Amino acid sequence: MRAGLLLCLATVADVKCNSARIIFSDESNLAFNLAFEATPLLSLRPVESTVNMSALEADGVALVRRHSGGGAVYLDGGVLVFSIIAPRSTFSVDINFSIIAKALKDLGVDANRSGRNDVTVTIDDRTLKVSGSAFQHAHDANGNAVSMHHGTLLLDANMENLGRYLTPHSLKLASKGIKSVASRVINLRQHPHVSDSSYAAVSAALAAAFSAEFAIAETVERVDKSNAVAAEQAFVARMAELTSWAWVLGKTPDFSHTLETRIDDFGMFTLHLDVHRGIIRAAKVFSDALLVDAVEALQALLTSVPYNADSILSALDARAHALLAQSKAECTAIGSTSDDATTHQQEERLLEKIKAWLALEISSAGHSPESG
């Protein structure tokens, strides 16, 4: 992969942004760049379901697991990786995507946000993906709520390898009407109107668009392994964790029940349940949905719940009521924002769709209360 680009308005781990900062990493080591911005952990989809493990091992390709959600991405010297970090109160996915679109526009490329987390271009009536994103909400060392937007831009990636190593779920491919991941992506280099698709040009365009959006000086800082932070014990430990077998592959508990679906407008959901004597002893949710708080909440609220439709739906209803109360409390305390309202509305919609899905799955399967 090419070096990373960090556009920062908040403090996360070793990235201390008391004011807006633009940071270029000169390291091609993905573990270094992820450790530099490391935040508390969130669940990813199992890597075995999104990558061709045998191909990676045969070709000696490194596998690194990031902290934010979403499926696997392919990185080589033709892929630019960027992150946008901001306080949770001002974080806006819409603004982030507008920055990406503005940067590409300045390079001669008309690009649009597509769905929840893609940026696409249209060439000869074909809509093709040039960028994908994942998101994470976390807290910094002082307990402040921050949000992160991870993204990639395909500059001149090896498409043959991309198709060989990535194995998206068949439901995800079907939802997009395609047969393989390689058939729906394109490098910026291949765009007929791009003025310059080099790493230097694209990263500079992103930095300029970021600076213009937030009316800040376009001052770029550079980091590499000689940075003082890289020698700190905590940083070294994070790098080691990101490439360790325990973190990358981990030991997945044996679950007695697995439910899987794709929910329109939200993404893939895989729900693993350990059910013993009719009680859900453990729940694990993997999803590429952008509502990471909702995914975490779903995992927690299903634990210790009786494994039947009525009990599970009641637990989901309780979450919906708690969400409503939280919304009212936030409005009373600090005033509401359009982003807050939109997020709450989206989670309520997601909960309704999950309720319908689980009610159908559990009832139609006729699971016994003594399952497990």
- Predicted confidence pLDDT, tens digits, the chain (372 residues): 444 566 665 444 444 444 577 888 877 776 777 776 653 333 334 455 567 778 888 888 877 776 555 567 788 889 898 888 888 888 888 999 999 999 999 999 999 998 878 999 999 888 999 998 888 777 766 777 788 888 889 999 998 888 888 775 554 434 444 444 455 889 999 999 999 999 989 999 999 999 998 888 777 888 788 888 788 888 888 788 777 777 666 544 456 788 888 888 787 788 888 888 888 988 888 776 767 677 778 888 899 999 888 888 898 888 777 766 666 665 555 444 555 556 777 888 888 899 888 888 877 655 444 444
Q: Are strands 79-87 and 4-8 parallel, antiparallel or unpaired?
A: parallel
Query: Is the backbone of residue 31 left (phi > 0), alpha (psi -120 to 50) or beta?
Result: alpha
Domain boundary among 248, 266, 286: 248
Regarding whether 286 and 148 lie in a shared domain, the answer is no
The H-assigned helical ranges of 195-288 are 199-214, 233-242, 245-248
Same domain, 57 and 125: yes
Number of domains in the chain: 2
Query: Which residue type does 56 have?
Result: L
Q: Which of 248, 277, 298 is the last residue of a domain?
A: 248
Regarding whether 299 and 244 lie in a shared domain, the answer is: no
State the CB neighbour count (10 A cutoff) for residue 125: 5
214 in Cβ contact with 145 (< 8 Å): no
Q: The CATH number of the domain where 206 resides is what?
A: 3.30.930.10
Residues 83 and 119 occupy one common structural domain: yes
- Domain's final residue, options 193, 217, 248: 248
- Same domain for 83 and 176, yes or no, is yes
Strands (E), the chain: 4-8, 21-25, 79-87, 112-114, 118-123, 126-139, 145-154, 220-223, 257-263, 267-276, 279-287
Domain assignment present for residue 371? The answer is: no
Do 236 and 94 fall within a single domain? yes
Supply the pTM of this predicted model.
0.69
Residue-number span of the structural domain to which 268 is assigned: 257-365
Verify that 239 and 353 share a domain, yes or no: no
What's the CATH number where 360 sits?
3.30.390.50
Q: Are residues 157 and 32 in the same domain?
A: yes
Same domain for 147 and 198, yes or no, is yes
Tell me, yes or no, whether 142 and 206 share the same domain. yes
